[in-house]
Amino acid sequence: MSDPLYRREVLRLAADATGAGRLPHPCSTGRAYNPACGDRVTMDVALENGRISGVAHDTKACVLTQASAAILGSELLGLCRDEVATLREHVVQMLKGGDAPPAPFDVFGVFDGVVEHGNRHACVLLPLDAALSALDASDAGKPG
């Protein structure tokens, strides 16, 4: 496929859907919704000592959002809220033409074709927003 938005690596990540599903007993749940296209992500997290010890996502969205959620499903374990927020900032900068985040999140580099499509940046960021929503709900002691 020659479309830079839907490179083979993006399609593979979306198809693998790492972390797809729901946690049986999450500490918190966060949701993110893109009203422009209808994409929805629900992210469950389990926490131990302020760090993510389990993660699952229910993603009803485009391939870009699905691929981004799969990256998080694979790599979020062990991170705290501040590290997830920093990751989001790295991804925002990458989508503005900067470098991909450092390993293990350098895989976000597969979204380099999205840089020229500002209206699709939200698709890549939506799972990160859902994860931060879950972590914020947990910090506030309220349900997701």
> For residue 32, what are the domain limits?
4-139
pTM of the model: 0.93
Three-state DSSP state, 35 = coil
Is 83 a member of any domain?
yes
Give the CATH number of the domain where residue 80 resides: 3.90.1010.10
Lookup: tokens for 64: 């870009």
* Per-residue confidence band for 138, with pLDDT thresholds at 50, 70 and 90: confident
pLDDT digits (tens, 9 = 90+) for 11-47: 999 999 999 999 999 999 999 999 988 999 999 999 9
Question: What does the alpha-carbon distance between residue 58 and residue 126 come to, in Å, rounded to a whole number?
Answer: 12
Looking at the structure of the chain, the number of domains it has is: 1
Is 86 a member of any domain?
yes
Q: Which neighbouring-strand residues pair with 29?
A: 44
Is 144 a member of any domain?
no
